[in-house]
Amino acid sequence: MTATHGANPLRDAADRRLPRIAGPSGLVIFGVTGDLSRKKLMPAVYDLANRGLLPPGFSLIGFARRDWEDEDFAQVVHDAVKEHARTSFREEVWQQLSQGMRFVQGTFDDDEAFNTLKSTIDDLDKSQGTGGNFAFYLSVPPKFFPKVVQQLKKHGLADQKEGSWRRAVIEKPFGHDLKSAKELNAVVHEVFPPNEVFRIDHYLGKETVQNILALRFANTLFEPIWNRSYVDHVQITMAEDIGIGGRAGYYDGIGAARDVIQNHLLQLMALTAMEEPASFDADALVAEKTKVLGAVRLPKDLAADTVRGQYAAGWQGGERAVGYLEEDGIDPKSKTDTYAAVKLEIENRRWAGVPFYLRTGKRLGRRVTEIAVVFQRAPHSPFDHTATDELGQNALVIRVQPDEGVTMRFGSKVPGTSMEVRDVSMDFQYGESFTESSPEAYERLILDVLLGDANLFPRTEEVELSWKILDPIEDFWDKHGRPAQYESGTWGPAEADEMLARDGRSWRRP
């Protein structure tokens, strides 16, 4: 196994003179005909190759039911790369990459197909020099995870041989609740050792998310005020303008809270709230994140301090949008949430009494993900109160996407003869400060899997603690009523505004 668990993501990102290049290896994608594979995984593999970060003989095997030959598969990858890759298409890179592409046709219970997969890997080891090092990417619905890992075991594909590695890469959602996540962890760990299991939370692969750690721990400016003495509350928003598109089969019955709060938003919260880790290796990071997740306290009154919503018809981007219950493939009586907001607190010395408001939704006003740390008002103001009538609270906003950067909001004197103070902002924009564009999250994560670098992957403990937070909320929702309706293209149900208004606060309009 490559011993890179101690790698430092901050140093790696900053030091372009030391590119981290994967050693001999290959990737097998299960569920290769799906959307994720076409839009994210295949382009990410090409982008890595184009940046010179993959080994010369890198191999990509697709596994699916389609009746494809290797050439058909290569053509699909080609088209996906042309359409979705971040970097420009270069024929010589493509020619080299496509040498190592193979397709294996079969279903997950098809023993013959897994035998073929095994012989394909053995052949690639010889022809492409992949060295027996393969990662198996499970981009399949969670109900198939156990079957696929058991098949890998049965056919000797998960055997860790001396001097080489076999890894499992598992897409979210990891389970449906705490119980199923534990069962899944047990099945996966029976086959793969914990350090060879990489659970994907693609938010952790985003540059702006990694920058939370740089912002907090590479500077002196923020950390002294990053606590209950100065922070009034924190708002974490992940808003999307899209609906569920063609994902009815996946989404219905899962909903917004399980789809993104359990993973992306709780991870953002953990990174925002955690103590400084002793180092930036995976163990130290996990230790700090799990302390935060373990200290989360749910609101006493779940009816008042959690909200779920479902989009109704409306207007989105100038077009008429149908409501969730009218979407193709959705049960017209579905109670699935497409919007969720929760108020959480963290019971520790740093954060006691500071609410963390998390919200996410589909078909909202616009696509934006941000973390807003909102500070308390100045304890005393020497100005006449009319001077500060229009002054809001100071805030530090980490803009995760799409307009990546950081904004600081504070009060400033309006030019003129009288003293009037108004909000202004100071802005850092990635696009202006750096010339290179940020790699896609999946580029970073696939590279890290091949390098065996586990820093950006949630561990068992984190996944289970996150379900522990969400389970009581989901149970409560199950038993009480239906989601509130909100018009597509708006900022969610009125109940979510009321939830903050009761605390004397309001959601930011990002």
Q: Is 384 annotated as a binding residue?
A: no
Site for ligand BG6 in 369-428 (CB under 6 A): 369
Give 232 or 240: the residue with its C-beta nearer to ligand BG6. Answer: 240
Q: Is 337 annotated as a binding residue?
A: no
Helix (H) or strand (E) holding 64: strand 59-64
Q: Could you tell me where the beta strands, DSSP code E, fall in 264-415?
A: 296-297, 306-316, 319-321, 339-346, 356-361, 368-375, 395-401, 405-413
Give 77 or 260: the residue with its C-beta nearer to ligand BG6. Answer: 260
Give 133 or 334: the residue with its C-beta nearer to ligand BG6. Answer: 334
Concerning whether 5 is annotated as a catalytic residue, the answer is no
Q: Is 65 annotated as a binding residue?
A: yes
Residues 339 and 309: beta-carbon distance below 8 Å? yes
Q: Is 480 annotated as a binding residue?
A: no
State the nearest-atom distance from the C-beta of 177 to ligand BG6, in Å: 17
Give the per-residue contact string, 187-226, with ligand BG6 (x = CB under 6 A; - = no): ----------------------------------------
State the nearest-atom distance from the C-beta of 240 to ligand BG6, in Å: 6
Give 102 or 258: the residue with its C-beta nearer to ligand BG6. Answer: 258
Distance in angstroms (rounded) separating the CA atoms of residues 255 and 265: 14
Number of residues located near ligand BG6, criterion CB under 6 A: 4
Which of 233, 239, 174 has its CA nearest to residue 466? 174
Tell the residue number behind the tokens 């373990």, with chain if given.
Answer: 294
Distance in angstroms (rounded) separating the CA atoms of residues 349 and 355: 14
Q: Is 172 annotated as a binding residue?
A: yes
Distance in angstroms (rounded) separating the CA atoms of residues 122 and 129: 10
- Name, in order, each residue with C-beta under 8 angstroms of 95's C-beta and a sequence gap of 6 or more: none
Among 232, 259, 464, 474, binds ligand BG6 (CB under 6 A): 259
- Name, in order, each residue with C-beta under 8 angstroms of 324's C-beta and a sequence gap of 6 or more: 243, 244, 310, 311, 312, 330, 334, 336, 338
Give backbone dihedrals phi and psi of 325, rounded to 5 degrees, phi first. Answer: -70, -15
DSSP-assigned letter for residue 265: I
| Number of Cβ atoms within 10 Å of the Cβ of 6 | 13
260 binds ligand BG6 (CB under 6 A): yes
Q: Is 206 annotated as a binding residue?
A: yes
| Residue of 78, 189, 264, 480 marked active site | 264
By annotation, the residues acting in catalysis are 264
Please report, in range form, the residues annotated as the binding site for NADP(+). Answer: 65, 172
Q: Please give the residue ranges that form the binding site for ligand BG6 (CB under 6 A).
A: 240, 259-260, 369
Please report, in range form, the residues annotated as the binding site for substrate. Answer: 202, 206, 240, 259, 362
